[in-house]
Structure 1
């Protein structure tokens, strides 16, 4: 399996499929690059070089004690890009991965990044504070940490329900999709899973979004129960220079079913604009 080794000795797993303009896909918490299997094939079939990595602590990558923070995630991505010598890159990030690609593009990717797509992404900032009164209370994230520590297997099974909107009338998400969410979650090291909650909830991406000077497609379901759209994409679109907001009616946080089909079609269309 292909890996790169970062400056601090962490091994980052990645998959690399197809040829053409590089498209890097960054996954959400607590998943891995496996979450992008459909998109990897789709992009490669359409003439792109599709690359997806497992964030440190997740999937098949190393599980170091340190570095489970957004700055380090972005540096890891920068090292992957540099070691593969990638240019004219399209970045795609879901949820936590949306934060990772935004920070990478703003702080490391100038001159290398051509376009960005985020889906259900965490920017600008999730947690409630004096400067962000509309955010989610810290208690919501404390509950996630408690669930991970107490019984992460059951917690991931339970979390798959709101993640895919399985608690909504008419939901068509399969048990298989929920099982795969659990499977990927169980590959995350406990320390990484715990620390990453702060990374995705407390990191402020406001200045990163303002710094972006490339086209960005902000995709978000309006029934996202994990990253509410009003606190995320609706605010982010006001901060970026060249943004397009795409709202998916009734879509949840997890990318599956009709939402996945619509999003994938929109990604392909955005890539050729």
Structure 2
């Protein structure tokens, strides 16, 4: 099992597939999942000759179940440690949901030559929470509900989310995949309840406006317009306006987990962006 140890002693699990001299693509997963969420994309891009890498965020998946360092700065620092450990150059960073926030924070601060491009899929930036300066955001009561559900019955909560809004399986006529629901549950239950609880504040309350403004590399912003978890109007549509070199790709009728439900379409679009 491949791991590295961060400066604060946290052991981070990662996958590293494909030719070590090929251009690297680094995948960043969403809450409360693991690098396994990217297996379909990793297999595809490995078959295209790329080096593909994904890690389990601290407290998630197979990484240490630490209750320390659950903030966006530390998540990005862990990515920087991964990049330094593997000496990745000219990499493409692809992040979903909370992983998109992680990508934005890391790329905004990355050393020259480390990053070529980035893609944000159903990503949380610039800010999810409703505030005085973000009046159309999501009320704090929604995230308090997440916290209450996690404390009351995490196992059931992690069944209800994928069975409902995450993949859009609660929509009339949706083609429900029981395998995807169970795989989401499996990944979630691997991680630390404490880490997942703390991460709710991270993904809801972290303002990444300045991160987006600081990125001058090409960024592809991809979002389903039926995202019930991270609404497009408060995320992607704002994010692309803050980016210096951003492009918005909207998937009509698709959900928060659109890259999992429609991998052929998303993989092709990502490949075209990377090759451009």
- Which of 185, 203, 207 is residue 206 of structure 2 equivalent to? 203
1:140 is aligned, of 139, 142, 154, to: 142
CA contact (8 A) 2:167 2:261 kept: no
SS at match of 1:51: strand
Which residue in 1 is equivalent to 2:45? 43
TM-score by length of 2: 0.97
Residue 163 in 1 paired to residue 166 in 2? yes
Aligned to 2:117: 115
Instruction: Give CA deviations for 1:230-271 in whole Å, capped at 9, x if unaligned.
Output: 000000010001111000001000135653221111001111
Q: How many residues align?
A: 273
2:24 maps to which residue? 22
Q: Could you say what the CA RMSD is over the residues aligned between the two structures, in angstroms?
A: 1.0
State the match for 1:83 in structure 2: 85
Distance 1:102 1:132 in 2: 19
The CA distance in 1 between the partners of 2:257 and 2:26, in whole Å, is 19
1:190 and 2:193 aligned: yes
In structure 1, what is the Cα distance between the partners aligned to 2:127 and 2:104? 12
CA distance in 1, matches of 2:137, 2:147: 18
Q: Is the 8 A contact 1:4 1:80 kept in 2?
A: yes
Aligned to 1:250: 253
Matches within 5 A, 1:47-126: 47-126=49-128
Q: 1:110 and 1:29 mapped to 2: Cα distance? A: 29
Secondary structure in structure 2 of the residue aligned to 1:186: helix
The C-alpha deviation readout for 1:183-209, integer Å capped at 9, x for no partner, is 111011011000000110100110000
The residue number in structure 2 matching 1:179 is 182
Unmatched runs of 5 consecutive residues or more in structure 1: none
Contact 1:172 1:257 in 2 (8 A): no
Aligned to 2:6: 6
Correspondence for 1:265: 268
Q: Secondary structure at the match of 2:60?
A: coil
Using the size of structure 1 for normalisation, the TM-score is 0.98
Q: Residue 257 and residue 104 in structure 1: after superposition, are their counterparts in 2 closer, same or farther (change >3 A)? A: closer
Change in CA separation of 1:181 and 1:109 when aligned onto 2, cut-off 3 Å: farther
Q: Is the 8 A contact 2:40 2:263 kept in 1?
A: no
Give 3-state SS (helix, strand or coil) of 1:227's partner.
Answer: coil
Where structure 2 has 5 or more consecutive residues not aligned to the other structure, the ranges are none
Tell me, in whole angstroms, the C-alpha distance in 2 between the residues paired with 1:142 and 1:112: 37
